[in-house]
Amino acid sequence: DIQMTQSPSSLSASVGDRVTITCRASQSISTYLNWYQQKPGKAPKVLIYAASSLQSGVPSRFSGSGSGTDFTLTISSLQPEDFATYYCQQSYSNIRTFGQGTKLEIK
Amino acid sequence: EVHVVESGGGLVLPGGSLRLSCAASAFTFNSHWMSWVRQAPGKGLEWVANMNQDGTEKYYADSVKGRFTISRDRATNSLYLQMNSLRAEDTAVYFCARESWLREYQTVWYYFDSWGQGTLVTVSS
């Protein structure tokens, strides 16, 4: 199965900061990479699909890039509502897998 | 508005069985792959199983293969997860998720765009 590794596992940042989260796949997955945001007690919400496509309704401060094995999620200017846990997920294989998550906390 | 609602969770003894259901509405259920994803308390997301539109393809995480069975009823727009030989490590909130897609020429990208609220399964004696 394809393993997904995110870094960092946790991150402290301030409102207005630019933040980057990295996701690495154990093999090349082209651009079959999605990003989700999850807040406590809630279901995940898709932010980015196909590595760089912004889901409808998601603010433009979120962006994704990468292909092959290395991907990034960038939040250009953190807002208070962005403090949450972020997950990457590959859909290259029918055996879907998630990264372990990155918890974004307020500094 | 797209809606998926899970049910069937509860407390079960180790070695026991449970069947989860997911009721889908407000979209063409028979056009979508569907997945189960779980989250153990305080842990990350773990994909469990999925199946294609007509049920001819089913895939499972290694952690549940041989114990869990995914199925769907096209007539009632329902997705199911039969869970047998349950273990303590299966304790989690189980989410039902719709897989949507982006198609460009011959390439199709899948992603989870609609999720239920989850149903809690607790395996404990």
* Structure confidence at residue A44 (pLDDT): 98
Predicted pLDDT of residue B82: 98
What is the Cα–Cα distance from A28 to B10, expressed in whole angstroms?
Answer: 39
Give the span between the Cα atoms of A69 and B37, in whole angstroms: 23
Compute the half-sphere exposure of residue B108: CA atoms within 13 Å on the CB side of its CA.
8
**Overall average pLDDT of the A4-28 stretch:** 97
- Cβ of residue B119 closer than 8 Å to a chain A Cβ: no
Cα distance between residue B106 and residue B30, in whole Å? 21
Largest CA distance in chain A: 38
What is the rounded average pLDDT for all residues in chain A? Answer: 97
Is B46 touching A (CB cutoff 8 A)? yes
- pLDDT at position B117 is 97
- Chain A CB within 8 Å of residue B111 CB: yes
Q: How many CB atoms lie within 10 A of CB A28?
A: 12
At residue A63, φ and ψ (nearest 5 deg) are -145, 155
> In chain A, pLDDT over 70 holds for what percent of residues?
100
Residues of A near B (Cβ–Cβ under 8 Å) read: 1, 31-32, 34, 36, 38, 43-46, 49-50, 53, 55, 85, 87, 89, 91, 94-101
CB contact under 8 A, A97 and B62: no
Dump pLDDT digits (tens) for A24-38. Answer: 999 999 999 999 999
Contact partners, residue B33, CB within 8 Å, separation at least 6: B50, B51, B52, B53, B99, B110
Confidence at residue B91, expressed as pLDDT on a 0 to 100 scale: 98
Amino acid at position A54, single letter: L
DSSP A40: T
Bond from prior residue into A44 cis (ω within 30 degrees of 0): no
Residues B106-124 pLDDT 10s: 999 999 999 999 999 999 9
Residue B90 near residue B15 (C-beta atoms within 8 A): no
Q: What is the pLDDT of residue B76?
A: 94
Lay out the sheet containing B3-7: strands in order across.
B3-7, B18-25, B78-83, B68-73
The SS3 call for residue A88 is: strand
pLDDT score of A13 = 96
pLDDT at A16: 96
Cα A92 to Cα B85: distance, rounded to the nearest angstrom: 30
